[in-house]
Amino acid sequence: MKMKLREVYSALKIQRDSIADVEVTGVCFDSRKAKKGDLFFPLQGERDGHEFIDSAIENGVSATIWQSNHDIPNDKIPYVVVKNVSNAFETLAKYYLSKVNPQVVAVTGSNGKTTTKDMIAKVLSTNNNVAKTPSNFNNEIGVPFTILNMPINTEVLVVEMGMDRFGQLDHLSSIANPDISVITMIGEAHIEFFGTRDKIADSKMEITNHLQEDGTFIYNGDEPLLLERAKKVEQDQLTFGSHNTNSLFATNIEAGKTTTKFTTNLWPNLEFEIPMMGQYNVNNALAALLVGQVSHIKPEAMQKALSELFVTENRTEWLKAENGADILSDVYNSNPTAAIEVLNSLKDIKTDRKIIVLGDMLELGEASRELHESLAPYINVEDFSKVYLVGHDMEFLRNKLASKYDSNNLFWYGKDQLADLTKDLKKELKPSDTILLKASHGIHLENVLHDLM
């Protein structure tokens, strides 16, 4: 970003006779991360952002926004008075987006959106100046922030969009007006609020509400809920997934612990490799390949880009236990779809004995018992030697698995029994074992992980 303060006034449609000759080179809303040249937006959070303006000034910001229902400050630095800070934030973002005029790719989904965003950005950067959402800044603050901090020479902007309520994606897509909208999948995230996967799908489809008329909708064609709703979208459409009815599907998948190789129907002689495990990450890569195809990136360039990928956020990581056993850790996030995906991926990996530790999947509402029980078909003796379950609702899964596993290989612990779990695992774990730890963060399996290492 680079604009004079006079241009900020103009973008916000504010008239003022005397305006300081100040250049703004970025925006911030966290005074701790403020830097020279920034325009500070005192957004309302748990505390009023105006409380941190002095801190932002100390860190060197060039100017600040100021909401009119607050006392007008002394002129320590130039300030712009607005009726509503949040509205001004979005208005300036829309103006700057129009000024830079990049191709915009918007990405959402119950799982995989951050990884897919990184894959898309990597693929498109082979032939473009690309900016993308930092980390997972994917809400009403994160999307304008992403836009306002893209360099002036940006040719493609890849924007991640999150969702935890109806209307949120409609609002976010109205800010970005994407040229390409991508939905990675429909899962059970936030089902406690939405109630059903149908309603989650309805809300995810809001990302197409402000898709450009000549834009493209790319989505997971394995999902019937999306196929049904996509019929109402008038723009061009492409699908990805495992079924051969999709525009792009993977063939010859070769799973490893840290890499996955695959070919596709469109480029059968070209083997792609991604530095991560799992069929679900293959699907994320397929989405990125379709975006690349629409953007006229050569297949060989996309192949090279994916092989060199570094993802912003990869919650599933391989670690080593103190005794040398391999640990597949994802102790901060879990839902039924993600759990099934990682179980299937681990099942396909060639290794010695596999042990799984699963903790409660939180925020599933009234469907929690049924969704915990739904993991049972994916947990079998021939794939996983021993199963350790933690938490109130995992007891439902324990009861479902009792017909498959005897009491020497199936264990359940209360949330307050992590010390007992750790003790038992240390007794059982062998150097040649592979062990999975997966749960929602509220179960705190990170404490078990720490003790195993």
Q: From the annotation, which residues make up the binding site for ATP?
A: 109-115
**349 phi and psi angles, rounded to 5 deg:** -85, 135
* b/e code 214-233 from CB counts within 10 Å (16+ = b): ebbbbbbbbbebbeebbeeb
Assigned token pair, 79:
């300030």
Q: Which residues are documented as binding site?
A: 109-115
Angle between helices 168-176 and 85-100 (to 10 degrees): 40
Other CB atoms within 10 Å distance of the CB of residue 372 = 26
**290 phi and psi angles, rounded to 5 deg:** -65, -40
Distances in Å between the alpha carbon of 163 and those of 139, 221, 334, 360? 7, 21, 17, 22
Closest CA to 389 of 340, 443, 337, 350: 443
Q: How far apart are CA 296 and CA 284, in angstroms?
A: 19
Collapse the DSSP code of 207 into the 3-class scheme (helix H, G, I; strand E, B; otherwise coil) and give the result: helix
**Alpha-carbon 151 to chain mean position:** 22
- Determine the straight-line distance between the first and last CA of the chain, rounded to whole angstroms: 44
Torsion-angle region of 190 (φ positive above 0: left; ψ -120 to 50: alpha; else: beta) = left
Q: How far apart are CA 66 and CA 78, in angstroms?
A: 10
DSSP 397-431: HHHHHTTTS-TTTEEEE-TT-HHHHHHHHHHH--T
Q: How far apart are CA 451 and CA 432, in angstroms?
A: 18
Name, in order, each residue with C-beta under 8 angstroms of 405's C-beta and a sequence gap of 6 or more: 381, 387
Angle, alpha carbons 206-91-168 (nearest 5°): 25
Assigned token pair, 401:
């698995």
**297 phi and psi angles, rounded to 5 deg:** -85, 135
